Structure 1
Amino acid sequence: MSKTAKAALWIMVATMLSKVLGFFREMVLANFYGTGNIADIFVVTLNIPGLIIAVIGSAIATTYIPMYFNTKEKYGEEQALKFTNNVLNICYIMAIVIAVLGLLFTREFVTVFAGGFKGEKFEIAVKFTKIMISGVLFLSGSKLFSSYLQVNDNFVVPGLIGLPYNIIIIASIIISANTNLYVLPAGALLAMSTQLLFQLPFAFKKSYRYKPYVNIKDESIKELAVLVLPMLMGVAIGQLNVFVDRLLGTHLPSGQLAALNYANRLNEFVMALFVTSIITVIYPKLSKMSNQDNNSGYISTIVKSSNCIILVVLPIAIGAIVLAEPIVRILFQRGKFDANSTQLTSIALRLYSVGLLACGIRDVLYRAFYSKSDTKTPMINGSIALAINIVLNLLLIKPLGHAGLAISTSISSIITVVLLFISLKRKTGYFGGDKIIKTGIKSMIASAIMGVVTLFVYNNLHLILGAGMIKELISLSGSVLSGVVVYSLLVIIMKVEEVGLAFDILKKVKNKLIPR
């Protein structure tokens, strides 16, 4: 696990750079557009190309990883490269079809994704979408090249694609607010292109060479198609959750959809920094272990990955619930983002955070099934969770507004994890569930105590120092630091095994940065 841990650490560093910049992007958007109509429009239309490719591109790119290893092992490096080009070209054919359909039927696309937009708001959304829909061409290639780099042991570059992407969007937000509104979608399209262009030089360094080869009758493509179809449905179900939330959100009063977006971005930062960093490294390893029938290594990887996520994400989720309001106020409240925007976003953040750990564990378990070429189980379990999410959304949106959408998402995520654990036990027998539960209980106790201490410290510091951005930042920083110290001491006292792994990682980094 030492190589895995080190790789995950450097991915965290790369992801942190991208996500910190992504946070700054949301702060800039909040400053110039607040939680008004333009913020709602940009949030929805920016995600239309992303949602489409998240369904098709993610399913293909995820299935590609075990198939690449299988093809390379059976037929060699040259055939694996040929397989890569075949998949890439097929993806581009589909992306071109989607882009053309998006341009021809833009109004229908916007009606589907933003049914609650009316009048001028709808017309602006249509114009934004026409500009950004071609982004599917860049995003589809970016997905596959990220997978290609990962199977060739380059995990950092895919984690850095957010840097040029966010820089360009930040610039477009500032320029559009001071000149022409439509600089905003044009800048977003340019930003999408950089996600592909940034990775190409590194792919060529890893011996990638493009060939215009398309063969849908190829045996590897047929096998890929068999695996992709249920995964495609599974990913579509996951994205349908997002789609349903956003569609219902367009019917809420102005600003609530944007508040959901800002809160979700905060949770996505945690997911990308810690969860994605871990699963990006473990998925290729799980695929290798499955091909080699290394069951003990497979189980050990699942346990250690799940426990690391529990130890990191659970206290962050508790901290977000306890300190949601000052966190949102410090990060976003300026310009057009007022006290009412802070209140709306804080409520959403607390309720999204309830399911944050479940989202992290769910992604690990999905990869555990995918690595064994089982794409049906996640699809079935996800379908059940989707149905529950839709029912809860419809029941809770009227009495609770945007809060109902947030808590419905969390509940459905928790149910998905429970179902996946049951399915994993049926499929593999013992999978180390007792060790995961043991770590979970210890982390929950430590997190609960940490939450009480953190809130107590924040309230007292805030009472002593008073209001004001700098003073509140000091109060928040002091409370977070006290919480980190308390939680760290408690998990060490409880002798959680993965804590030793974390210290081992830090020690290796220290030795690299400060040689003896």
Structure 2
Amino acid sequence: MGLFRSAATVSGFTLLSRITGLVRDIVIAATHGAGPLTDAFWVAFRIPNLLRRLFAEGAFSQAFVPILGQARTTEDEHQVRLLLDRVARLLTLALMVVTLLGILAAPLVVSAMGSGMRAPDRQEEFLSAVWMTRVMFPYIVCMSLVALASGVLNTWSRFAVPAFTPVLLNLSMIGASLWLAPLFETPIHSLAVGVMIGGILQLAVQWTALVRLGMRPRIGGSVGDAWRDSRVRRVLKQMAPAILGVSVAQISLLINTNIATWLTPGSVTWLSFADRLMEFPTALLGIALGTVLLPSLSAANARSDAAGYSALMDWGLRLVLLLGLPAMLGLALLSDALVATLFHYGAFSASDVAQTRLAVTAYAAGLLGLLSIKILAPGFYAKQDIRTPVRVAIIVLVLTQLMNLAFVPLFAHAGLALSVGLGAMCNAAMLLVILHRRRIYRPSPGWPAFLLRLALPLCALAATLLLASRELDWIALGNTPLLRAAWLAGVIAACMAVYFTTLWITGFRPKDFTRRGR
């Protein structure tokens, strides 16, 4: 399958996931608003998410997929299955132990994530966060096994199922908000149960896909044999720096969440909803490209195809600029419309819209960096070099917190978002410089002309966005929500028409961005 088609498949299902995620957040905003108990849920939800990224999607995938891809290329099917079985066995055991410890130590974990909740007048908020943390901790076991299944399916170029399954989490949380909430004395607690239902559903669907592929791992068996397998030890060895690298990003998130709990009540929720909007372009483009590139880069590395390796990265970076720059402009200049249309209902007030809009605009400053990292970091992972991105991430963590010292007093919660965005830009710039210096990535000819042709479409898009922002009062349109949604859809359609028509005029064609996979 061509890489562009693969990326489009992942993007399509990821778009469905992000749409249902937006519906989920709209339902949460309308039913629970942006108050202290909603903040408690987001703090509790970030804890299993943090560990999921730490042990599963982030560190595990970065370490496991390149080694699995190499085994598939160089070893027979029996050895590949043996590797899969043994990795699954150790991963499951480790995560069950972590889950048990997390449930027991939930008060300490919540204190670390949201120390502002320990104030005497916020005990209800703190106790709710502890309860929800305990309910959701087993979610990381489900998601770690989902990450294992995704790694196998993606290596076999079965991209659709892993991209679709996050939809199930969103549907479970929507169902919990609408139908389970009335059954709970504290309605927000229903969301924690919804998260667990969603995790189990995701695991069931992906495990079924592995069975159909004939690659279902056997978790039972000797832990000693798994531990002594040299390939499993390589995965663990690679995971150590990967965990450190992911930890750096998650430590930054932990610090920012902690700071937000000391700001105006609602700050955690405003940042969470702003982050949801940022996830749209990040997931549709960055994660989609990163997902399809890593197996192809790993295969190119196994073939010692340096030219093909560099060309794959060049293709990804050009797509990031072509689609990421207009997304960045859209988020920055249309943030008021997006936030008002999506969240300004029920308990979510106009003031909440204004505060969330500030965070969206601040996040937008770093969107290009966030997208580029999804292309640049796999350039190291596919070569089984995880230490370099880790070193860069540690530097960026320090820079981000130094920026927090300057921006939070000036811009409150939006300062946290701005620090994250600018930190991502620094991260991407450093990775790019290192790849170029090591001659891993050598830009293909034609970059100056590419950037020059891109300037006119971006200017036309910016003019369209500024005109829409000036002419429409998105808060006032809340009296007619369907009309507001129609206006937003019309503005987005007009922007897309202007941008892609101008791209065509300046000489861009779809064939310029198609590329065959391995």
Match of 1:172 among 169, 176, 197: 176
Q: Does 1:397 align with 2:411?
A: no
Q: Distance in 2 between matches of 1:191 and 1:369?
A: 32
Q: Does 1:472 align with 2:484?
A: yes
8 Å CA contact 1:62, 1:147 repeated in 2:
no
Q: Distance in 2 between matches of 1:279 and 1:52?
A: 21
**Matches for 1:214-293 after TM superposition, within 5 Å:** 214=223, 215-293=226-304
Q: In the TM superposition, what is the alpha-carbon distance from 1:441 to its structure 2 partner?
A: 5.2
CA distance 1:493–1:395, change in 2 (3 Å): same
**Matches for 1:46-445 after TM superposition, within 5 Å:** 46-57=45-56, 58-118=58-118, 119-180=123-184, 181=187, 182-211=189-218, 212-213=220-221, 214=223, 215-428=226-439, 431-432=442-443, 435=446, 439-440=450-451, 442-445=453-456
Q: Distance in 2 between matches of 1:301 and 1:35?
A: 43
Q: Distance in 2 between matches of 1:28 and 1:428?
A: 49
Q: In the TM superposition, what is the alpha-carbon distance from 1:442 to its structure 2 partner?
A: 4.1
8 Å CA contact 2:3, 2:292 repeated in 1:
yes
Letter in 1 for 2:55: I
8 Å CA contact 1:115, 1:250 repeated in 2:
yes
Letter in 1 for 2:313: I
* Cα deviation 1:364-422 (Å, max 9, x = unaligned): 10011101111111111111111101111133222211011010001100101110111
Q: Distance in 2 between matches of 1:430 and 1:161?
A: 33
* Cα deviation 1:68-127 (Å, max 9, x = unaligned): 122233331111111111111111111111111112111111111111113211111111
Q: Distance in 1 between matches of 2:234 and 2:130?
A: 38
Q: Distance in 1 between matches of 2:452 and 2:387?
A: 30
TM-score by length of 1: 0.92
Q: In the TM superposition, what is the alpha-carbon distance from 1:306 to its structure 2 partner?
A: 1.1
8 Å CA contact 1:310, 1:439 repeated in 2:
no
Letter in 2 for 1:369: F
Name which of structure 1's ranges 231-240 and 444-453 shifts more when overlaid on structure 2: 444-453
Q: In the TM superposition, what is the alpha-carbon distance from 1:287 to its structure 2 partner?
A: 0.4
Letter in 2 for 1:292: R
Name which of structure 1's ranges 263-272 and 332-341 shifts more when overlaid on structure 2: 263-272
Q: Distance in 2 between matches of 1:471 and 1:32?
A: 22
Secondary structure of residue in 2 paired with 1:187: helix
Q: Distance in 1 between matches of 2:8 and 2:349?
A: 37
Partner of 1:509: none
Secondary structure of residue in 2 paired with 1:428: coil
8 Å CA contact 2:310, 2:440 repeated in 1:
no
8 Å CA contact 2:207, 2:216 repeated in 1:
no
CA distance 1:240–1:448, change in 2 (3 Å): farther
Q: In the TM superposition, what is the alpha-carbon distance from 1:307 to its structure 2 partner?
A: 0.9
Secondary structure of residue in 1 paired with 2:157: coil
Q: In the TM superposition, what is the alpha-carbon distance from 1:353 to its structure 2 partner?
A: 0.9
Q: Distance in 2 between matches of 1:66 and 1:210?
A: 18
Secondary structure of residue in 1 paired with 2:348: coil
Secondary structure of residue in 1 paired with 2:228: coil
8 Å CA contact 1:40, 1:258 repeated in 2:
yes
Q: Distance in 2 between matches of 1:386 and 1:445?
A: 35
Q: In the TM superposition, what is the alpha-carbon distance from 1:486 to its structure 2 partner?
A: 2.0
Letter in 2 for 1:127: W
* Cα deviation 1:446-494 (Å, max 9, x = unaligned): 323311222214534669x977333333433333222222211322233
| Fraction of identical pairs, as percent | 24
Q: Distance in 2 between matches of 1:430 and 1:15?
A: 28
Match of 1:482 among 494, 498, 501: 494
Partner of 2:13: 14
CA distance 1:254–1:438, change in 2 (3 Å): farther
8 Å CA contact 1:462, 1:471 repeated in 2:
no
User: RMSD of aligned C-alpha atoms?
Assistant: 2.1
Q: Distance in 1 between matches of 2:449 and 2:287?
A: 23
Q: Distance in 1 between matches of 2:408 and 2:470?
A: 32
* Cα deviation 1:136-188 (Å, max 9, x = unaligned): 21111111111011111110000111122111111111234423123221221
Letter in 2 for 1:124: S
Q: Does 1:454 align with 2:465?
A: yes
CA distance 1:75–1:254, change in 2 (3 Å): same
Letter in 1 for 2:485: L
Q: Distance in 1 between matches of 2:79 and 2:142?
A: 25
TM-score by length of 2: 0.92
CA distance 1:329–1:195, change in 2 (3 Å): same
Q: Distance in 1 between matches of 2:171 and 2:350?
A: 27
* Cα deviation 1:295-316 (Å, max 9, x = unaligned): 1211111111111121112101
8 Å CA contact 1:65, 1:284 repeated in 2:
yes
Q: Greater relative contact order: 1 or 2 (C-alpha under 8 angstroms, separation 6 or more)?
A: 2
Q: In the TM superposition, what is the alpha-carbon distance from 1:206 to its structure 2 partner?
A: 1.1
